[in-house]
Amino acid sequence: MTPSTPVSALTIAGSDSGGGAGIQADLKAFAAHRVHGLSAIAALTAQNTRGVIAVHVPPLEFLQAQLDACFEDFDIHAVKLGMLANADVIHLVADVLETHRPPQVVLDPVMVATSGARLLEASALRALRERLLPLATLLTPNTPEAELLLGRRIGNAAEAEDAAAALLGLGAGAVLLKGGHLDEGPRVIDRYFDGVTGEEFSHARLPVDAHGTGCTLAAAIAAQLCRGLSLPNACGAAIDYVARGLRNGYQPGRGEVMVLDHF
């Protein structure tokens, strides 16, 4: 590597043909942070601003080949995990992470798209909980995902605080529980907890129907970790990045949905 060579981050996630979420959002976020972006496509979606039309999961051998190609050649500082589609994919990804042990693993436990489309088979929840959570440096669920992981409802601030601690108990190194789905007034509170440090990130709720915010947030955190920020500082910087991207967001298609501006 030359002194100016950026470090590498790898996203293992789903492709969004509409360019707003998934792998496409992740690579834009990596590039905007001047981190070299690698990708292993775990699922392909035929998708636009109106919704998900079809999903294709490539053969496992092909995902393995993509991961081997990346881990053989690059110094991967951070891995971001997004849409993994089913339990077989999760087991393969967990095996690869156990072999290579990248320093940072940011797990966005993608389950259902904002449009309502299922992005993870219901039967894969257990594999996600048992195989991937213990490998995650940071878990970034939204409230519905946290509810599914914990099997209980989260309806207010006290329950969200308890949930962040309970999620940590499932094995992740730290948790950023996103508060966008909770009604806590005009502001959104995202809660960070690593067992020692607890931090609340409060930001204005923007009245927009946006797509790809969760993917972008997790990718921006991974990128900030590549740049040497601590976990809570990486979360804070990435939350600001998403807010900026939303303020400058645009509607690229005929649907109402906005995507983030990354640059």
Residues that bind ligand PLP (CB under 6 A): 13-14, 16, 21-22, 45, 47, 82-83, 110, 113-115, 119, 211-215
- CB closer to ligand PLP, 173 vs 249: 249
Nearest distance, CB of residue 234 and ligand PLP, angstroms: 19
Whichever of 110 and 246 has its CB closer to ligand PLP, that residue is: 110
d(CA 94, CA 88): 10
Q: How far is the CB of 72 from ligand PLP (least distance, A)?
A: 25
29 within 8 A of 219, measured Cβ to Cβ: yes
CB of 218 to ligand PLP, least distance (A): 9
Q: Which is nearer to ligand PLP, 11 or 104 (CB)?
A: 11
Q: Smallest distance from the beta carbon of 197 to ligand PLP, in angstroms?
A: 26
C-beta of 257: minimal distance to ligand PLP in Å? 7
Contacts of 142 (CB under 8 A, 6+ apart): 178, 180, 181, 214
Tell me which long-range contacts 227-234 makes (C-beta under 8 A, separation of at least 24). Answer: 227/7, 227/33, 227/34, 227/35, 231/137, 231/138, 231/173, 231/174, 231/192, 231/194, 232/192, 232/194, 232/197, 232/199
Closest alpha carbon to 214 in 181, 184, 247, 187? 181
Residue closer to ligand PLP, measured from CB, 7 or 109? 109
- Distance, CA of 161 to CA of 175 (rounded, Å): 11
- Of the two residues 214 and 236, which places its CB atom closer to ligand PLP in the complex? 214
